[in-house]
Amino acid sequence: MDSSDVLLEARGICKDYGPVRVLFDVDFSLRRGEVHALIGENGAGKSTLVKILCGLIPQTQGELTYKGQPWRPLGVSEAERQGVVMIHQEFNLAEDLTVEENIFLGRELRKGWLLDRRAMRRLSREILAELETDIDPTARVRDLSVSQKQMVEIAKAISRKADVIIMDEPTAVLTSHEVEILFKVIRRLVQSGVSIVYISHKLDEVKEISQRVTILRDGHRIATEPTEALSADEMAVRMVGRSLEDMFLPKTPPPEVQPVLTVRDVTVPGFAYHCSFELYRGEILGFAGLIGAGRTELFEGIFGLRPRAGGFVERAGRPVEIYSLKDAINCGMVYLSEDRKGKGLITLMELAPNLTLMSSVREAGFWLRRREELQELERAIGEYDIKAPSLRSLVAELSGGNQQKLALAKVMAIDPQVIVLDEPTRGIDVGTKQQIYQFIHDLAATGKSVVVISSEMQEIIGLCHRVVVMRSGRIAGVLSGDDITEEEIMLYATGVKGAA
Amino acid sequence: MRSTPMAQETPRTAHLMWGRLTALGPLIALIALIALGAAINPTFLSVANLTNVLSRTAFIGIIAVGATLVIIAGGIDLSVGSMAAWIAGSMIIIMNRLVPATGTGWITILIGMAVGLLLGMAAGLVNGLVSTRGKIDAFIVTLGTMGIFRSLVTYFADGGTLSLNFGVRATYRPVFYGALLGIPIPVLVLIGVALLGGLLLNYTRFGRYCLAIGSNETVARYSAIPVDRIKTLTYVFQGLCVGIATILYVPRLGSASGTTGLLWELEAIASVIIGGTALKGGSGRIWSTVVGAIILSMIGNILNLTSAISQYLNGAVQGIIIIAAVLMQRGVRKGE
């Protein structure tokens, strides 16, 4: 390899979050004018690595070089000035500003003391035209669709005249036509000497657009190869690195006798429309779909956390009226949010109050029972294998995996029969993942019913007896048995199969 | 090179531990202030002076206990000073009207006290319900009721002063000026209210829910906690505290006007802040609030006893103390 054309290089990068190491001695190099794909499972460390590359977070160990100089940007804005721009998965747009104001945010064109609106509008139009989108530069970003926002993000990156563009799952929310346009733009950028780091789950896209591919697994770099040297299957095997049997226990689908939960025609305005499904005793029911398909919002609606319009819910054959989370809990149902720190746990509180926060709502007593809380914590620590510095630790002092186990213990403390877990293994290490899979399996084996909402294909495929696929707020299809494959799920999730 | 292994993340734990240690901050500040006072003027430490300071702390201290719970649960109540004036005015009007029927004895006064407590709780209920049900920021709701209460008392007094019947005043007087076992009654009441507040905050589910809501309201909602009810109850408790403080205040001057309880809300909030309770909610201690209230009134007292700084600068010194207290908190909270 000719090292002279390497633009951005990372050597021996390690990253620790508290006691947890998420990147181990990772090397990465980006040549001038190449598309370098970065692939790996969720939690493999892709996002962490690129956040380090673009100055969003500092590495714990290791060195970066950019254009032959040591590279240590003090934050994103400096990195952008030097030509390293990241397009985030979660958009980084000011929702109340217009498209053109966003594109030029922080480097507005001026005529003397005043903004040169005319020039900015003209340039915005040019860039948007290049992207073959009909987005109006004067539209408010808030009013755009998700895929339009993605296009604005891309336009913003292009307008910064970047040398390095890092794209984190840019096609997750794009239609296939928009993906084609994006690829055209990428090819044009690469020809003009721009280098692109391309993170994606979609291996066929990686095959199509990238010249080299780096595979990460559990924070380690597994391989860096020319893309044509690897087939999509070989990439998948190296990404996973272990067979599914290691992670998941054999499934034993329950008999579909009497549903414990029947949802009929439920609509959550703005998010989910006319959704119907059943959940059986002892079943693990998966909810798959693209981000923004309305899975989380559907269940928040069912649990009374969001306004619901129409439809009804039966619990074990009896109609139930659920208008608040407390009603749902009284029906023996719990929901564990995907947003562990935002909705699941109070990170600056101790463990015991967090553990009992939900179950205490059902108690009648006026006084707290601190001693019993601590006993309950000790029991949960044993049962869920929670590793905490001490009984009086704050939640913030726990690793992500242990926080998730505590969150699980918290909702299980009400002894529910129906358990809805939203992205139960997001951002946690493989060991803990396996424990959580085992736990979900055991729940079903003891006759409880579990819904797993997950964007991780493997998890859905390895764990669930049946899979409901949602697309744009509607249930596109229900898969069971041997039909539960990545291809089938994607066909329904992207609208090739199933009712619109 | 920027390879500083582990240095980026470990301070978090250290910060949290330091945070637990600095809980004693307000107490240390109070002890320092007492030492300063004693050094400046020996009469500062006299029983008469200290009981005087503590008695005058009682109004703000009692109100600040309620404010602590409101703020811990993520709210704010700006209406307490006006509320106190409105309650005082209403109590005086009602007791004066009762004199022909029930005389100038304790029956009239007890009815007046009951009215004071009920009005306080009702006013708190209004603040709480309007902000939770109406989904309006508590700052705005209580800014509104602040104006309403103050204007009502001015209207009742017709722009002047409402004066309590002299007979009733004589009977009522010991409630502020009296003492039990040498301890002034207002101080005893302050201790009682603080104990009640501490009990509520630390030993009941209500207190736990206040902390949870103030820390992260979304998590509380996703834990099935009745967020609106708990928040409303904090305003009712605040109203009760204002009622109690007003019951003690009425016999002090025996009158109420449009300027009664002026700026009490700011002094109460300042006491809470000096006590180390975060204005954004989620953590706090009742006893530190009481210490904060004592610090505030002690500053005025010490300035009265010395000629080094003009007593007219009382507000400036208090302001510096408030800002310094928040700066210290900031140091603790960086770890988040």
Q: Indicate if A204 and A340 belong to the same structural domain.
A: no
Is B310 near chain A, with CB under 8 Å? no
Q: Which residue of B has its CA nearest to A21?
A: B6
Surface of B (8-47) touching A: CB under 8 A = 8-10, 12-13, 16
A120 Cβ neighbours under 8 A, 6+ residues apart? A100, A101, A103, A104, A108, A109
Average pLDDT of A168-190?
83
Q: Indicate if A322 and A455 belong to the same structural domain.
A: yes
pLDDT at A490 (0 to 100): 84
Q: Across chain A, what does the average pLDDT equal?
A: 88
Cα–Cα distance measured from residue A196 to residue A33, given in angstroms and rounded to the nearest whole number: 8
Q: Indicate if A260 and A156 belong to the same structural domain.
A: no
Q: Which of A390, A396, A394, A362 is nearest to A378 (CA)?
A: A390
pLDDT at A242 (0 to 100): 61
| Domain containing residue A419: CATH number | 3.40.50.300
pLDDT exceeds cutoff 60 at A398: yes
Q: How far is CA B27 from CA A10, A342, B44, B275, in A?
A: 51, 34, 18, 9
Q: Indicate if A227 and A80 belong to the same structural domain.
A: yes
pLDDT at B315 (0 to 100): 83
Contact list in B for residue A346 (CB cut-off 8 A) is 212, 215-216, 219-220, 282
Domain of A190 in residue numbering reads as 3-243
Identify which of A70, A366, A394 has the shortest CB distance to residue B16: A394
Cα–Cα distance measured from residue B75 to residue B36, given in angstroms and rounded to the nearest whole number: 35
pLDDT exceeds cutoff 90 at A180: no
Cα–Cα distance measured from residue A169 to residue A180, given in angstroms and rounded to the nearest whole number: 15
Contact list in A for residue B205 (CB cut-off 8 A) is 360, 363, 365-368
B62 Cβ neighbours under 8 A, 6+ residues apart? B189, B190, B193, B241, B244, B245, B248
Q: Indicate if A165 and A263 belong to the same structural domain.
A: no
Q: Indicate if A119 and A263 belong to the same structural domain.
A: no
Contact B59, B271 (CB under 8 A): no
pLDDT exceeds cutoff 80 at A313: yes
Number of domains in chain A: 2
Q: How open is the CA angle A104-A106-A107, to the nearest 5 degrees?
A: 60
Q: Of all residues in chain A, what percent carry a pLDDT higher than 90?
A: 46
- For every residue of B235-295, DSSP letters joined together read HHHHHHHHHHHHHHHHHHHSEEETTTTTTHHHHHHHHHHHTT--TT-S---HHHHHHHHHH
Is B158 near chain A, with CB under 8 Å? no
Q: How far is A62 from chain B (nearest CA, A)?
A: 6
Is B2 near chain A, with CB under 8 Å? yes
pLDDT exceeds cutoff 60 at A477: yes
Q: Indicate if A126 and A47 belong to the same structural domain.
A: yes
Q: Which residue of A has its CA nearest to B333?
A: A348
Lookup result for tokens 């300027």: B259
Q: Which of B135, B124, B126 is nearest to B227 (CA)?
A: B135
A241 Cβ neighbours under 8 A, 6+ residues apart? A217, A218, A222
* Residue from B2, B223, B227, B230 whose CB has the most chain A CBs within 10 Å, to mutate: B223
Q: How far is CA B90 from CA B42, B78, B80, B84, in A?
A: 42, 20, 15, 10
ipTM over 0.85: no
* Residue from A57, A349, A393 whose CB has the most chain B CBs within 10 Å, to mutate: A349
Q: Which of B287, B271, B269 is nearest to B80 (CA)?
A: B269
* Topology at the third CATH level for domain B43-333: ABC transporter involved in vitamin B12 uptake, BtuC (1.10.3470)
Identify which of B208, B219, B224 has the shortest CB distance to residue A368: B208
φ, ψ (nearest 5 deg) of residue A391: -65, -25
Q: Which SS3 state, helix, strand or coil, does residue A498 take?
A: coil
Q: How far is B324 from chain A (nearest CA, A)?
A: 24
Q: What is the pTM of this model?
A: 0.79
Contact B75, B138 (CB under 8 A): yes
Contact list in B for residue A342 (CB cut-off 8 A) is 216, 218-219
Q: How open is the CA angle A178-A179-A181, to the nearest 5 degrees?
A: 65
- Categorize the per-residue pLDDT at A171 as very low, low, confident or very high, splitting at 50, 70 and 90: confident
Q: How far is B282 from chain A (nearest CA, A)?
A: 9
Cα–Cα distance measured from residue A46 to residue A430, given in angstroms and rounded to the nearest whole number: 15
Identify which of B10, B208, B221 has the shortest CB distance to residue A353: B208
Say which DSSP state A344 is in: I
Assess if residue A498 is contained within a domain: no
Q: Indicate if A360 and A444 belong to the same structural domain.
A: yes
Q: Which SS3 state, helix, strand or coil, does residue A61 take?
A: strand
Assess if residue A102 is contained within a domain: yes
Q: Which residue of A has its CA nearest to B11?
A: A18
Is B199 near chain A, with CB under 8 Å? no
Q: Which two tokens stand for residue A397?
A: 């002092």
Chain centroid offset of residue B182 CA: 24
Alpha helices (runs of H) in chain B, residue ranges in sequence order: 11-21, 25-40, 47-72, 80-102, 106-133, 138-156, 166-172, 174-177, 185-203, 205-215, 217-221, 227-253, 264-274, 286-305, 314-333
Contact A26, A13 (CB under 8 A): yes
- For every residue of B315-328, DSSP letters joined together read HHHHHHHHHHHHHH
Segment B127-172, tens digit of pLDDT = 999 999 999 999 999 999 999 999 999 999 999 999 999 999 999 9
Torsion angle of the four alpha carbons A127, A133, A134, A138, in this order, in degrees rounded to the nearest 10: -40
Q: Indicate if A17 and A98 belong to the same structural domain.
A: yes
Lookup result for tokens 């217009």: A98
Look at the alpha carbons of A116, A120, A121, A122 in this order and tell me if their dihedral is positive or negative.
positive
Identify which of B202, B211, B224 has the shortest CB distance to residue A325: B224
Identify which of A61, A305, A345 has the shortest CB distance to residue B5: A61
* Residue from B222, B227, B230 whose CB has the most chain A CBs within 10 Å, to mutate: B222
Q: Indicate if A70 and A217 belong to the same structural domain.
A: yes
Q: Domain boundary at A243, A265, A286, which?
A: A243
Cα–Cα distance measured from residue B183 to residue A147, given in angstroms and rounded to the nearest whole number: 71
- The low-confidence residues of chain B, meaning pLDDT below 70, are 1-22, 329-336
Q: Which residue of B has its CA nearest to A305?
A: B222
> What count of other Cβ atoms lies within 10 Å of the Cβ of residue B113?
21
* Residue from A51, A326, A368, A420 whose CB has the most chain B CBs within 10 Å, to mutate: A368
Contact list in A for residue B10 (CB cut-off 8 A) is 18
> What count of other Cβ atoms lies within 10 Å of the Cβ of residue A265?
11
Q: Looking at A252-291, which runs of residues are DSSP E strands? A: 259-268, 272-280, 284-289
Residues of A with CB under 8 A from a CB of B: 14, 16-18, 58-63, 70, 72, 305, 324-326, 328-329, 335, 337, 342-349, 353, 357-358, 360-361, 363, 365-368, 389, 394, 396-397, 410
Q: Which two tokens stand for residue B268?
A: 């109460």
Q: Across chain B, what does the average pLDDT equal?
A: 89
Identify which of B10, B205, B218 has the shortest CB distance to residue A360: B205
- Asked if the Cβ–Cβ distance from B204 to A337 is below 8 Å, we say no
pLDDT at B257 (0 to 100): 92
φ, ψ (nearest 5 deg) of residue A177: -65, -45
Q: How far is CA B116 from CA A263, A268, B110, B190, B246, in A?
A: 52, 47, 10, 17, 7
Q: Is A129 exposed, middle or buried (0-12, 13-18, 19+ CB in 10 A)?
A: exposed
Contact A497, A476 (CB under 8 A): yes
Q: Which SS3 state, helix, strand or coil, does residue A76 take?
A: helix
Contact A316, A449 (CB under 8 A): no
Chain centroid offset of residue A314 CA: 31
pLDDT exceeds cutoff 60 at A110: yes
* Residue from A20, A21, A346 whose CB has the most chain B CBs within 10 Å, to mutate: A346
Identify which of A70, A328, A345 has the shortest CB distance to residue B219: A345
> What count of other Cβ atoms lies within 10 Å of the Cβ of residue A382?
9
Q: Which SS3 state, helix, strand or coil, does residue A83 take?
A: coil
Q: Which residue of B has its CA nearest to A326?
A: B224
Cα–Cα distance measured from residue B247 to residue B189, given in angstroms and rounded to the nearest whole number: 11
pLDDT at A42 (0 to 100): 66
Q: Choose between A173 and A278: higher pLDDT.
A: A278
Contact A180, A67 (CB under 8 A): no
- Asked if the Cβ–Cβ distance from A394 to B225 is below 8 Å, we say no
Contact A16, B6 (CB under 8 A): yes
Contact A133, A148 (CB under 8 A): yes
Q: Domain boundary at A218, A243, A268, which?
A: A243
Contact list in B for residue A18 (CB cut-off 8 A) is 9-10, 12
Query: What is the enclosing helix (H) or strand (E) of A29?
Result: strand A20-31
Domain residue limits, chain B: 43-333
Q: Domain boundary at A189, A208, A243, which?
A: A243
Contact list in B for residue A296 (CB cut-off 8 A) is none
Q: Indicate if A232 and A250 belong to the same structural domain.
A: no
Q: Indicate if A274 and A385 belong to the same structural domain.
A: yes
